[in-house]
């Protein structure tokens, strides 16, 4: 699949993961993924981790940078 086609929804997913406490499934639906499996597969291919693991890593990184 074209990298640019995936980038826009994945960018929206990243923003929602950082700015909300919605579950990854809720975010997938909000962004327009019809199949959760496709969402998780694409996210993992793009970032090398699950959405929840990515969220936790980003939040941990952010909190350590603020100290």
pLDDT at 29 over 60: yes
Write down the pLDDT at residue 3. 65
Mean pLDDT of 12-32: 95
Instruction: Kindly state the greatest CA–CA separation across the chain.
Output: 40
What is the homologous superfamily of the domain 3-66 according to CATH?
Answer: Homeodomain-like (1.10.10.60)
User: Would you kindly state where each structural domain of the chain is located, as residue ranges?
Assistant: 3-66
Write down the pTM of the prediction: 0.83
DSSP assignment letter at 8: H
H or E element, residue 20: none
Confidence class of residue 7 from pLDDT cuts 50, 70 and 90?
confident
43-55 confidence digits (pLDDT tens)? 999 999 999 999 9
* Structural tokens at position 24: 């990854």
């Amino acid at each position: 699949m074209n990298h640019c086609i995936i980038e826009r929804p994945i960018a929206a997913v990243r923003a929602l993961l950082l700015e909300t406490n919605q579950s990854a499934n809720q975010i997938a639906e909000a962004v327009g993924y019809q199949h959760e499996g496709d969402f998780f597969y694409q996210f993992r291919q793009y970032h090398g981790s699950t959405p929840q693991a990515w969220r936790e890593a980003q939040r941990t990184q952010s909190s350590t940078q603020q100290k």
